[in-house]
Amino acid sequence: MEEIEISKNDELVMKLLHYFITEQGYNPIVLHGAKNEIWLENLQGSYKVVRIVTNYIHNDEQLNFDLFRTKQIMKRIKKKTLSFHMNTLSIFLNLGDNVKLQPFEHIPGVDSAKIDNILDLKKYDYIMSEFPDITEQNNFEEKGAELFMKITKDITEKNEIENSHAEDVFQKKTPIVTYFLIAVNIVIFLAMYLFGEGSYHVSTLLKFGALQSDLVASGDYYRLLTSAFVHIGALHLFVNMYSLYIIGGQLENFLGRMKFLIVYCASAIFGALLSSAFSSAVSAGASGAIFGLLGSLLYFGYHYRVYLGNVMRSQIIPIILLNLFIGFVTPGIDNAAHIGGLIGGTLITMAIGIKYKSSRSEKINGWILTAIVAIFLIYLVFFR
């Protein structure tokens, strides 16, 4: 059987890919027209993008053009992933001897390295500080075809795990909690007509748990949550339940039932607290909780922006901004509840975490921020 020969550059590329994909969680980026280079992304990494460039660059002009093109591609990736800052590491494997690699101040956030073998990476302090084990992890005993098969196997297994995670998160499931919440809202709305004087009658609204800041301050704490299940008029109910059906169905699918229910209830409470802090009028409705779901969806989408970047930019963010604008210019809309719900939904999602994405420190920070905001709102309502 003929021995498979692998060139020095191909072996180096395979080792780098193996390290960044299997050890550092990077994923390939598909770029049309990019030849002799591989782009990898990890939006949680210090270097969000790593380039492995095998194209032969024989003079400084070609290098400058390469770095200019890198900047343009980075702009596209930033736009797609809603990233404001994106550090990039370019690793060149085939630079001419007369090409001088130096810092390029005109392209902030881009670090470059020229290597002929893995050990050359030790020359660059900024690489070793971020990836201190990169040389040790690439000390393979296998050579030639055996090395190729091992690296291919490891990368394939890693990709299979990543694909299974994405399939688990995005696989369509029946939104049971969403349906339950809609049913509860409808039952309470009908009960206001069966056992009260209708959904426009103030005493009936208060009887069924509507929000009123003086009553909350005097001890009716339950109104902070129950007010999210009371609606004023059929149109109010229909709009909120339709929004809950669309947004809630998606978010419950992404977060899971228990986390979704926590986000919904916490958003309702945060919205009611901020509403009580700024108004003493009787108010009701699920819109604060629904804004919280939008905030939660925005936070989830940020972590999975490789999949949802375009949806966030074209749908989620415009919907939030449009509804907040309508709330500011239209009389009778409790925009404080919307803003409170939006903040609460975002923070509580940070605290409970996004499956396969959130780190322990990120969740701890989420709980700390949630507690700080909650204490501040409680102070505004009860102690101001």
Which residues have a Cβ under 8 Å from the Cβ of 17 and sit 6 or more positions away? 38, 40, 52, 151, 155
**Nearest Cα to 261, choosing from 358, 165, 368, 348?**
348
Instruction: Indicate the length of the chain as a whole number.
Output: 384
The reply to whether 236 belongs to the active site is no
Catalytic residue among 90, 296, 338, 358: 338
Radius of gyration, alpha carbons of the chain: 27
Gap between the Cα atoms of 135 and 205, Å rounded = 68
Dmax (CA) for the chain in angstroms is 89
Count of Cβ atoms closer than 10 Å to residue 375 Cβ: 10
Gap between the Cα atoms of 204 and 96, Å rounded = 81
Helix (H, G, I), strand (E, B) or coil at 67: helix
The reply to whether 85 belongs to the active site is no
Task: Starting at the earlier edge strand, list the strands of the sheet with 49-53.
Answer: 27-28, 37-41, 49-53, 88-92, 110-114
Gap between the Cα atoms of 42 and 221, Å rounded = 44
Q: Which run of H or E residues covers position 27?
A: strand 27-28
Give the 3-state DSSP-derived string for 50-63, with helices as H, strands as E and coil as C.
EEEECCCECCHHHH
Catalytic residue among 213, 275, 276, 287: 287
Q: Residue 3: what are its φ and ψ, rounded to 5°?
A: -70, 135
β-strand partners of 28? 40
**Strand 49-53 to 37-41 pairing:** antiparallel
Does residue 113 contact residue 131 with C-beta atoms inside 8 Å? Answer: no
What DSSP assignment string belongs to 102-115? ---TTSTTEEEEE-
β-strand partners of 38? 52
Report, as residue numbers or ranges, the catalytic residues: 287, 338
